[in-house]
Amino acid sequence: MRLKLISCKVLFRELSRICAESENYIDATFLRQGYHNEPTKLHSVIQREIDRIDSGYDTHTCNAEGMDFDAILLGFGLCCNGTAGIFSRKYPIVIPRAHDCITLLLGSATRYRQIFDECSGGVYWYSCGWIENSPMPCKETEQMNFDRYKERYGLDNAAYLIARESVALHDYKRAAFIDTGVKVSEYADFTKEAAAYYGLEYKSYSGDSKLLADFIGGNWDDEKFLKLQPHYCAAPSYDEKIIRAEKMGKG
């Protein structure tokens, strides 16, 4: 199959390894992690990429004459409804049934829920991709934020803002590193140091690539993946399926 992948850059290393070994042709575009902080913007950026693919004018995609795709793969979860409303006029879209990328790294929504329940939700997740692509909580990030706040708002206000951010981390009990087999020692140590700095318990969880491998391989079991036909959009399902298809209106 010929597949177009649009994914969060947090999954870059894990997906790149799977894509390199896949029998399918994968044309990949990775989007920066920061869009997750603004779900409406994330939606706009993803939809813009899909619209350009539909029209044949996407600057990231091979659109040589006679080449087409069997499906568009979205390497995201529901992501605070950032993928809700996403659609294509031309291609099927496949989306994992996941709230966010942690499910994709752990291998299943069931495992994610088990860990969430075990720790009463108080887990701050770290992974190779998160550490590389986002300013994760750690001593260095806190100092960087303090310097930025001090320059903008003054010393006293900077101290207040940092204290507020530190208090927010008190809701967490554990700093957890997901070991996907990529740069494990370096990033596990990073997470341990962050946990110690904030007084959190440290724990490492083994990643599971099966869900991502099925995603890239075209094994789209309905229990694990939503497959949208053209002119259907994604919508939250508010149940264990997480995301569902919804028929679009005319237009």
CA 227 to CA 233: how far, in whole Å?
Answer: 10
CB atoms within 10 A of CB 108: 18
For 18, the token pair is 């799977």
**Residue pair 206/177 in contact by the 8 Å Cβ criterion:** no
> Could you please report the per-residue DSSP string of 101-159?
HHHHHHS-HHHHHHHHHHTTT-EEEE-HHHHHHS--SSHHHHHHHHHHHHHHH-HHHHH
Q: How far apart are CA 180 and CA 106, in angstroms?
A: 9
Place of tokens 């990429």: 49
- Predicted pLDDT of residue 248: 84
**Dist. CA 11–CA 133, nearest whole Å:** 10
26 DSSP β-pair partners: 3
For residue 251, the model assigns a pLDDT of 46
pLDDT for 68 equals: 86
- Tell me the average confidence (pLDDT) per consecutive run of 10 residues in the chain, 251 residues long: 95 95 95 84 93 85 73 94 93 95 93 87 90 91 90 89 81 92 87 93 94 97 95 92 86 46
CB count within 10 Å of CB 14 equals 25
Give dist(CA 193, CA 68) in Å, integer.
Answer: 47
CA distance 10 to 8: 5
The residue whose two tokens read 């996907």 is 180
Global pTM reads 0.90
Helices (H), the chain: 12-21, 39-55, 101-106, 109-118, 128-133, 139-153, 155-168, 184-198, 210-217
The pLDDT, as a whole number, for residue 107 is 94
